[in-house]
Structure 1
């Protein structure tokens, strides 16, 4: 899952990247073999809490500095961060399906356009595609439902934050309003859940999953990263690490033991686990936390930085390289799973190095300047125009690939 573009004076939190790594690995292990980590789907909920915290922390910091939010800049940075890697993924997936499983191209058409417009979750709901019951080969783009939930949040939440900060001057009432919205979402999940029936509707729905993002947002209002300092007492440090270790242990145990069909999950369990995730995020965001230093170790930090790409690539790799007939087991299944894990990490690393990082550091603007007329233009305008050109080209490739092969 993607992280917000950091403001110039923001503090890097390596422990947060370590948590991203654990969350994405939990999701991958779940998709590789449900029996290995039946609660691995909880990794998505961890990402939601993280995203809610980091985005809101960024927005409030910008408001504190400038007294306003630059929506255009915010959304442009989101597009520059998210779209290139996503469109690259979709081009590769369309080409791979066309070459190796062309009979699936007709089914892929709707998934592609839903992904482009970040409505994959609602497309799956209205198409009555179950997340839990698999009939036939799954779509290699089925995992993009969670990114759709986040992007819908990114579109609406900054407007609500700006309105709230303009009208409600005190932070306390804003926290209560945010938690009130989270409670409504959680109540809706519990009300719509019917024991014994497929819970995919409430699992996919933005309305029934946004509580995790809002819990993270409320944490950002109460625990802004820019105000956290290492100048705290020894007792406070110990409390931080005890709370963090307990929260991490609860999440790991839940990933190991929780079943996707547990009634508990949809009748308050996911809310409780989001609150536990928020406690862990609070500890890892604090510069005085020893646990944050452990979670920020180089291997976890490396994976966490690339977690968006790893999440993007893992599901297509698993779907397109797994047998569709009788499942094999034992050593063969373990070797295949290991190779799939390595493949998605390698693809994500290549995407990070050659697509995501260059674009984040102005490659689009430099490229446009090189191919342009030589007139001086603002870097933001150059980046916007070439980003739009590149996206349009990728969409054309995807469209003609799907249209001509269905």
Structure 2
């Protein structure tokens, strides 16, 4: 979720040239985090005649995570290709990634497992799901949380023969969201070796990997009870989004690069794949459709890769100017902290001012139901903006008072 070496368009050349920092990519990252915020912070099961369109839009805003994946695949592959001949290739990449990711991530875990239980105890609230998460803490410490779903999958439990591993409760949402960080971290550990060994055949390898992942998702949908979580969170099912971003970075450096091919891909992804997925999700919201679980994630990634390809080539397009606006770039800069903090803030706010709703719109805890302003029409937007604002402030403080000191060490590697 961090901008690395980026692309700019060069109209005087038929190639995409690498010219350092590109504000467009921070803007895309800002759009991604705003989509995630909207999906998590709007009470998306709740809908009235006045809010149906807003609620339906929030249904599909989870695709912001896929935009993060495409950007990560693109940026990381570009960095690896540019540095593959340098000394300490592996060491420098791993340490630089660790300095960006680990400090905030492990601070977040400390807050979740030490501070939050203390706060809840002080409020005389016992959170069963946090007790369960404490038992599974090693999954979080070692970036394996995207495979916790396996503990409730009958087929896998039967194979390993350890029924006592079953989850009593799902982890709270503020911990559950780190599954995407686990996917990226596992990618960072494996992909440098793949690039180093197969860099001459990387384009064909990427296409093969994507096809294998689609076939694997088809297999899991037909065999597992919990195929929804498996196809959504398992790295072996989601790395196609990273691969599509990686493929874009590889082609931009390829001797076979053709601007007309790049532009056709951009058009197809941005104006065909992405709208098709959005329309499908508006009609069949959620991730419980088997056809979508097999093909949908790849189509989303192709759509966002098309968006990325388009804005990298078209310097003066209105879309690029919008994406490069200061507000999107600002959110992009602090997106990592915002992503980690926002559901934690939401969780605590729901404990202090409870307004949780069931799918039918009725309150989950009727006796505690206390919407801000006495109405959900007031509560929903106010709570969303208040939570987002607190999360942004926390991310800003965290970046400038904590993370920035670790980032300064990257220049040593």
Measured after TM superposition, the shift of residue 222 of structure 1 is 0.4
Partner of 1:371: none
Distance between the aligned counterparts of 1:113 and 1:81, measured in 2?
A: 21
Q: 1:137 to 1:61 in 2, by over 3 A?
A: closer
Measured after TM superposition, the shift of residue 83 of structure 1 is 0.9
Distance between the aligned counterparts of 1:146 and 1:107, measured in 2?
A: 20
Distance between the aligned counterparts of 2:265 and 2:206, measured in 1?
A: 24
Distance between the aligned counterparts of 2:144 and 2:224, measured in 1?
A: 27
Cα-to-partner distance string for 1:56-93 (whole Å, 9 max, x where unaligned): 01111123xx3677100100001100111112222222
- Secondary structure (helix, strand or coil) at the match of 2:40 reads helix
Once the two structures are superposed, the pairs formed by residues 35-46 of structure 1 within 5 Å of their partners are 35=45, 36=55, 37-46=58-67
Partner of 2:75: 54
**Pick from 206, 220, 240: which aligns with 1:192?**
220
Residues 18, 304 of structure 1: 8 Å contact kept = yes
Partner of 1:276: 303
Find out whether 1:149 has 2:183 as its counterpart: yes
Partner of 1:100: 119
Distance between the aligned counterparts of 1:55 and 1:197, measured in 2?
A: 34
Where does the alignment leave 5 or more consecutive residues of structure 1 unmatched?
Answer: 366-378, 381-406
TM-score (norm 2): 0.74
Q: 1:256 to 1:354 in 2, by over 3 A?
A: farther
Residues 32, 64 of structure 2: 8 Å contact kept = yes
**Pick from 276, 288, 291: which aligns with 1:264?**
291
TM-score (norm 1): 0.75
Measured after TM superposition, the shift of residue 252 of structure 1 is 6.4
Partner of 1:304: 332
Q: 1:17 to 1:257 in 2, by over 3 A?
A: farther
Find out whether 1:360 has 2:399 as its counterpart: no
Cα-to-partner distance string for 1:383-404 (whole Å, 9 max, x where unaligned): xxxxxxxxxxxxxxxxxxxxxx
Where does the alignment leave 5 or more consecutive residues of structure 2 unmatched?
Answer: 8-17, 46-54, 155-167, 357-363
Over aligned residue pairs, what C-alpha RMSD do you find? 3.5
Measured after TM superposition, the shift of residue 359 of structure 1 is 2.0
Distance between the aligned counterparts of 1:336 and 1:195, measured in 2?
A: 41
Residues 26, 328 of structure 2: 8 Å contact kept = yes
Residues 39, 258 of structure 1: 8 Å contact kept = no
Measured after TM superposition, the shift of residue 113 of structure 1 is 2.7
What is the aligned length? 348
- Secondary structure (helix, strand or coil) at the match of 1:157 reads helix
Residues 317, 344 of structure 1: 8 Å contact kept = yes
